Structure 1
Amino acid sequence: MTLSANQLKTEIIYPDSDGKPMAESDPARDYLIYGVETLDIYFQDRNDVYVSGNLFIYYKKGIPSAVVAPDVFVVFGVEKKKRLSYKVWEEGGKVPNFVLEITSATTQENDEEDKPKKYSLLGVQEYFQYDPTGDYLNPQLKGSSLVEGKYQPITSNLLPDSVSSIHSEVLGLDLGLINGELRFFDPQTGKKLLSHKETEQARQQAEQARQDAIPRLLELGLSVEQVASALSLPVEAVRRFVQE
């Protein structure tokens, strides 16, 4: 029996996972999740922006070893959808426009030497690094922009409230450090971008503050209706408080 050429071909496998943990430490995992969530929320109304992290990006068809897995990355000009891995040739040749790596003891050398070379060759426009512990990077937050095939440092700014920040032209956002903690900021509003968890915490705090204000406003002589209007609460909610 003679096998055809197609039968002799071996299928090329592009694994979706290497079986290793997502991150080696709590800070690395926490900031990875924060970065992906906040950017995903920020670009949620745009169907041509894909945000992900710790996902295999295969950049050469037929060569599974040609792969990178940035901690956080953003691609403009591709469909927003769930992916098990990202294959550049299936995405119209689009590579990440922005990459953020969370640096640690085991990734420092790779983040500082190997990855910048790969990312620059791929054409990643901006490459940022952040060290949650402050032990491996100096400064703790770095940003670089691709200029004529090489990364050039992006100048950081010290804001009046002692927040050190670096502007990302690609994202249209500022990456800043508050007491060493990485946060994204909208430069137009100055507001910090929140993760899903932080958004819920802020909602609960605001709700509690409104509840706490009810008795004070009632003591000032405001009616139930006036209190409800002032605190943007349903009238029934204020009445239930009075009845309790």
Structure 2
Amino acid sequence: MMKSSGGNLPLGRDYPATNSEPRAQSDRARNSIHYSIEALKSHFQHRQDVYVSGQLFVYYAQGNPNALVVPDVFVVFGVPPRDRLCYKLWEENNCAPDFVLEITSQMTVGKDSGVKRGIYALLGIREYFQYDPLDDSLRPRLKGMRLIQGDYQPIQPISLPEGSLSLTSEVLGLELRLVRGGELRFYNPKSGAKLLSYRECNRARRHAISRLFKLGLTAEQIAEALEFSLEEVQRSRSS
């Protein structure tokens, strides 16, 4: 959802963090947003200058609460990863998002490809990606664009041997791929590893702990090897 700028309002006017308008989403769209935010937060968790969020009001003109945009997923470099009610550019050293991903649907494709694209270019957002989880509104269903001299130019997709589609984000240093069933996943090109959601991380953690117990390691040895607390290991074993 997006509201374009209107007339200037007094500087003291509130900047709401939510509104009363309903926002209906398909399960696939919601899952794509949650996965993307969780995977990117996990990937950048050791960086104190990277903020990952999504579906948050981004205000870009001080004094005008109507000048806002709500990206589904966005990443900002150069600001701390603290919790925010909303994101106001003038309170963040004028750091606009560097990367935006919109989960596009039949209801949003017009705004995502039109007005939002224009605002993102105006704000200097370096990369803009769109993904259509239902494959009914966007062709191809995964698109990427890079800002060059004030205008977005398409990022050329790469067809992988197994038949999946991959686009490179230079901003993130990651690849966005369409995998089984057309699902969107982020990959680290250096390691070839898929970025995991919190649930996927927990599942992989439990599997690793179970495997090491079967190999005869003690809880203390597993905690040291995996850099987990002893309580985490014991809790995973009993779950």
TM range (shorter): 0.7 to 0.9
The equivalent residue for 1:219 is none
From 173, 183, 192, the equivalent of 1:190 is 192
C-alpha deviation, 1:144, in angstroms:
0.1
Distance 2:211 2:92 in 1: 47
Counterpart amino acid of 2:198? H
Q: Is the 8 A contact 1:48 1:78 kept in 2?
A: yes
Larger Rg: 1
- What residue number does 2:91 align with? 90
> Would the alpha carbon gap of residues 209 and 20 (structure 1) be closer, same or farther in structure 2, given more than 3 Å must change?
farther
Q: Does 1:33 align with 2:45?
A: no
- Aligned pairs, number: 212
Aligned to 1:168: 169
Distance change >3 Å, CA 228–CA 147, structure 1 → 2: same
Task: Give the corresponding residue for 1:65.
Answer: 66
Instruction: Name the counterpart of 2:146.
Output: 145
- 1:117-136 equivalence runs, <5 A: 117-136=118-137
Q: Is the 8 A contact 1:22 1:54 kept in 2?
A: no
1: distance between equivalents of 2:85 and 2:196?
25
Kept in 1, the 8 Å contact 2:11–2:62? The answer is no
- Report Cα offsets for 1:49-96 as digits up to 9, x if no partner: 010000000000000010001000000011221100000011111100
Shift of 1:202: 2.0
SS at the partner of 1:228? Answer: coil
Q: Which amino acid aligns with 2:53?
A: S
Please tell me whether the aligned partners of residues 12 and 63 of structure 2 are also in contact (alpha carbons under 8 angstroms): no
Displacement of 1:18 after TM fit? 1.2
1:205 Cα deviation (Å)? 3.5
With a CA cutoff of 8 Å and minimum separation of 6, indicate the structure with the bigger relative contact order.
2
Gaps of 5+ in 1: 1-8, 215-226, 235-244
2:21 is the alignment partner of 1:43: no
1:200 pairs with one of 176, 199, 202 = 202
Which of the residues 216, 224, 227 maps onto 1:228? 216
Secondary structure in structure 1 of the residue aligned to 2:144: strand
What is the DSSP-based 3-state SS (H/G/I as helix, E as strand, rest coil) of the residue aligned with 2:42? Answer: helix
1:23/1:163 Cα in 2 relative to 1: closer, same or farther (>3 Å)?
A: same
Q: Do the aligned partners of 1:22 and 1:29 also contact (CA within 8 Å) in 2?
A: no
Once the 2 structures are TM-superposed, how far is the Cα of residue 19 of structure 1 from its aligned partner? 2.8
Structure 2 unmatched ranges of 5 or more? 1-9, 224-239
Cα distance in 2 for partners of 1:51, 1:233 equals 31
Q: What displacement does 1:196 show?
A: 0.4
Moved more, 18-27 or 95-104: 18-27
User: What is the SS of the residue equivalent to 2:178?
Assistant: strand
- Judged with a 3 Å threshold, the aligned counterparts in structure 2 of structure 1 residues 85 and 156 are, in CA distance, closer, same or farther, namely same
Q: What SS does the aligned partner of 2:30 have?
A: helix
CA distance in 2 between counterparts of 1:192 and 1:40 reads 14
- TM-score (norm. length: structure 2): 0.83
Q: Which residue of 2 aligns with 1:158?
A: 159
* Alpha-carbon separation, structure 2, partners of 1:93 and 1:187: 30
- After superposition, what is the alpha-carbon deviation per residue over 1:165-199, rounded to whole angstroms, capped at 9, x for unaligned? 00000000000000200000000011100010111
Q: Per-residue deviation at 1:23?
A: 5.0
- Give the partner amino acid of 1:30: N
